[in-house]
Amino acid sequence: MRILVVDDDTRIREMTADALRDNGHDVEEADCGATALALLDESISVLLTDVQMPNMTGPELADAARMRFPQLAVRFMSGDTGSIPREAFQGQAVLAKPFTISALLAAVGGSSNS
């Protein structure tokens, strides 16, 4: 599975991407919404994005991405889920930071190694 991980926090983005790679996923990384949109193509199965980022929020990124790829699966992650209106998550569950590798894999659909 090809996953695009978007987070402005380099440490979290890299650790998330590494965990996904260690479990057999092909991962692209972006530090902001604009970079994510530039990397996004039909080969991406899942967009895993932070909710609160400068210039473009995760929900804004998801809206723009789905305009191009309506079938794209979107998963959100956030360290501050309490202050964000639930409707911002577009009906998706939110992966609360910090998260375990098993929670991460469950959010994106499991391991590609199995």
Place of tokens 């609160």: 52
Query: Domain for residue 114, yes or no?
Result: no
Q: What percent of the chain has pLDDT over 70?
A: 86
> What whole-number distance in Å separates Cα of residue 42 and Cα of residue 15?
24
- Quote the mean pLDDT of the chain: 91
CATH code for the domain in which residue 67 is found: 3.40.50.2300
Query: Domain for residue 21, yes or no?
Result: yes
> What whole-number distance in Å separates Cα of residue 74 and Cα of residue 110?
15
> What whole-number distance in Å separates Cα of residue 106 and Cα of residue 101?
9
The structure's pTM equals 0.91
* Angle at alpha carbon of residue 60, lines to 56 and 65, rounded to 5°: 110
Query: Domain for residue 24, yes or no?
Result: yes
Please state the domain count of the chain: 1
Question: What digits encode the pLDDT tens for the residues 34-89?
Answer: 999 999 999 999 999 999 999 999 999 999 999 999 999 999 999 876 666 666 66
Query: Domain for residue 113, yes or no?
Result: no
Mean pLDDT, residues 11-23 taken together: 98
Range of the domain at 50: 2-108
